[in-house]
Amino acid sequence: MASKLGLSTETIADCRRLARQVSEGVRRETEQYTTVSTERTVLRLLGVDGVDAGEVPVPNRVVEALHACGKLGRGAAVWMGERGKVVGVNNSTDFYRAVREGTLTSTATPVHRGRSQQVWVVETVDEDGRMVSRGQVRLQNLTD
């Protein structure tokens, strides 16, 4: 199949190989400098802003959650979709029990992370580990 730009398969393969080399070099150089404050700033640049009910900045909460599950090392932007721009396409959530007080913990697990869409399962448990809700959300990655 001919490329839209008229490039040979070999040229395209070479460009992809070189892009991988460049990105790997950048990753090696920058990963040692990633800090909590850097990741909060990245989130703000991606449009994640505001405060939660406890007046804690949302970027702080996101960074705390990523750190708690051992995923902050890859950087916050990795977990935000393509440049943080996504729109919900479908959401189906089952609620199993009512909760009037206490702390709830939600865990989102990616099922599929494609170029155009993502599918996540989100489970929420109460302080005793009892399932409160379980949902699946499909997101469309937006491009400029």
Domains and CATH numbers, the chain: 82-144 (3.10.129.10)
Per-residue pLDDT tens over the stretch 56-100: 888 888 888 888 878 777 677 767 654 557 777 788 888 999 888
Query: Of 71, 65, 69, 68, which is closest to residue 34 (Cα–Cα)?
Result: 71
What are the start-end ranges of the H helices in 1-95? Answer: 9-30, 36-45, 58-68
Question: What DSSP character marks residue 51?
Answer: B
pLDDT at 21: 86
Asked if 131 and 93 count as a contact pair (C-beta separation under 8 A), the reply is no
1 vs 102: which has the higher pLDDT = 102
pLDDT at 19: 86
Model's pTM, two decimal places?
Answer: 0.45
